[in-house]
């Protein structure tokens, strides 16, 4: 979340379903169907998602073109393909096909195998493309203009991104059909959470940075911590939130934040304020692990592997001690040390 914030507005609903999809139009349902087909793959990469979006677009486009031709020319798409290409009927149908725009806008955001980021946008008949941010739907043009003015990008910090998105949602209300957002949804590799759109501290920041550069927020630990403290997990009621709860079960449970990150050899080790440690595996090893171990067995597999390796190290230490104790030179050195008196004699005594 630190380097590539993925946020979207929730207008009285969650912005994401299944794999973090926000869309408008019938292709969204087909997209969900296509994604369902790849969920059981041992490893999922960016192109799996992109191909699923493309397949959904093509299927829906062909489905709707069939109706378009029936309604306007009284023939099916399959019938048109068999016509003589120089015939008037063929050319009329050809013009309809070329002019038709699929009524669909779709944003897909999330993480795939290895922690790689997916941020795809597909609009109308255009191919899905990787983007740094996406603004679609009613009021999308106003929101996009607002984000563009702020130079929102992939490396914008969490706190700045949240302010920019809140400003963009306010700008979108220039369209009379757009109302106030309810919450903003934040997706990370560990979980997805929400923050109230009318959070008091966020409102203070919006007022402070009207027509002012937000760059200083990048270095503001205070802003980051206060906004993270406002995050809550889905299912938390308003009453629970007011009491300080941020999870549906367990009042006052803290939401972990990264306190330290270091590299140990090929490993990235992150420490969290809730006491957890996360270890980032090298990508080849991670891919092999995901391919060969079922998701339901992975936690147990890692625990057993760690326990077995630690037990091996204990045995290695014991063997090393036994070898050292059996060494004649080591035994002689120990006897010399045993002959030393505990008390030191002062030179003047």
Structure tokens at 19: 């794999």
Q: Which residues share a beta bridge with 260? A: 271
DSSP 8-class letter at 246: -
What pLDDT score does 20 carry?
42
Query: What is the C-alpha to C-alpha distance for residues 284 and 265, in angstroms, rounded to an integer?
Result: 15
> What CA–CA distance (Å, rounded) separates 316 from 109?
47
How would you label 139-149 residue by residue, b for 16+ Cβ within 10 Å and e otherwise? bbebbbebbee
Written as tens digits, the pLDDT of the chain (349 aa) is: 333 333 444 333 333 333 344 544 455 566 666 666 777 777 788 888 888 888 888 889 999 999 999 999 999 999 999 999 999 999 999 999 999 998 888 888 888 777 778 888 888 889 888 888 888 888 889 999 999 999 898 888 889 999 999 999 999 999 888 888 889 988 887 778 889 999 999 999 999 999 899 999 988 888 888 898 888 888 887 787 777 777 775 444 555 666 777 777 767 787 776 567 777 777 788 888 888 888 778 888 888 888 898 888 888 888 887 777 777 776 677 666 666 555 555 555 5
Q: What is the model's pLDDT at position 80? A: 93
In the chain, which ranges are continuous DSSP H helix?
27-38, 46-73, 77-82, 88-99, 140-149, 158-172, 200-208, 221-229, 238-242, 283-292, 298-326, 328-338
pLDDT of residue 37: 74
Residue 195 and residue 227 in contact, taking contact as beta carbons nearer than 8 Å: yes
Query: Read out DSSP for 11-35?
Result: SSS-S--TTTEEEESTHHHHHHHHH
Separation of alpha carbons 199 and 229, rounded Å: 11
The whole-angstrom separation of Cα 96 and Cα 103 is 15
Least Cα distance to 137 among 35, 19, 13 occurs for 13
Q: What is the pLDDT of residues 194-215, one digit of tens each?
A: 899 999 999 999 999 998 999 9
Q: Could you tell me the domains of the chain? A: 6-255 (3.60.20), 262-338 (no CATH)
Q: With 0-12 CB in 10 A as exposed, 13-18 as middle and 19+ as buried, what is 27?
A: buried
In the beta sheet, which residues pair with residue 267?
264
Secondary structure letter of residue 253 according to DSSP: P
pLDDT at 275: 64
Of 236, 229, 139, the C-alpha closest to 181 is: 139
- Kindly report, residue by residue over 28-82, the tens digit of the pLDDT: 566 666 666 777 777 788 888 888 888 888 889 999 999 999 999 999 999 999 9
């Amino acid at each position: 979340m630190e380097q590539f914030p993925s946020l979207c507005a929730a207008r009285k609903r969650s912005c994401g379903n299944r794999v973090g999809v926000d869309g408008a139009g019938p292709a969204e349902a087909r997209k969900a169907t296509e994604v369902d087909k790849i969920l059981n793959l041992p490893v999922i990469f960016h192109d799996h998602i992109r191909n699923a979006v493309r397949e959904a677009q093509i299927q829906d486009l062909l489905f709707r073109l069939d109706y378009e031709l029936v309604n306007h020319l009284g023939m099916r798409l399959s019938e048109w393909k068999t016509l003589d290409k120089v015939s008037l009927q063929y050319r009329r149908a050809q013009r309809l096909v070329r002019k038709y725009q699929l009524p669909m806008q779709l944003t897909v955001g999330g993480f795939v195998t290895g922690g790689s980021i997916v941020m795809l946008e597909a609009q109308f008949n255009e191919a899905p493309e990787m983007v740094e941010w996406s603004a679609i739907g009613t009021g999308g043009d106003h929101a996009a203009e607002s984000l563009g003015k702020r130079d929102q990008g992939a490396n914008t910090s969490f706190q700045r991104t949240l302010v920019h998105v809140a400003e963009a949602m306010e700008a979108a209300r220039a369209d009379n059909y757009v109302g106030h957002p309810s919450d903003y949804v934040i997706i990370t590799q560990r979980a997805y959470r929400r923050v109230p759109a009318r959070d008091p501290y966020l409102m203070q920041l919006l007022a402070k940075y009207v027509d002012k550069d937000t760059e200083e927020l990048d270095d503001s630990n205070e802003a980051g911590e206060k906004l993270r403290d406002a995050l809550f997990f889905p299912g938390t009621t308003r009453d629970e939130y007011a009491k300080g709860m941020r999870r549906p079960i367990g009042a006052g449970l803290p939401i972990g934040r990264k306190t330290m990150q270091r590299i140990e050899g090929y490993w990235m080790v992150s420490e969290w304020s809730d006491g957890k440690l996360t270890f980032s595996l090298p990508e080849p090893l991670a891919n092999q692990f995901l391919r060969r171990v079922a998701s339901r067995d992975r936690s147990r597999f890692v625990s057993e592997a760690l326990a077995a390796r630690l037990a091996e190290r204990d045995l290695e230490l014991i063997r090393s001690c036994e070898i050292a104790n059996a060494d004649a030179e080591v035994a002689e050195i120990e006897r010399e040390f045993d002959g030393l008196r505990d008390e030191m004699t002062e030179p003047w005594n």
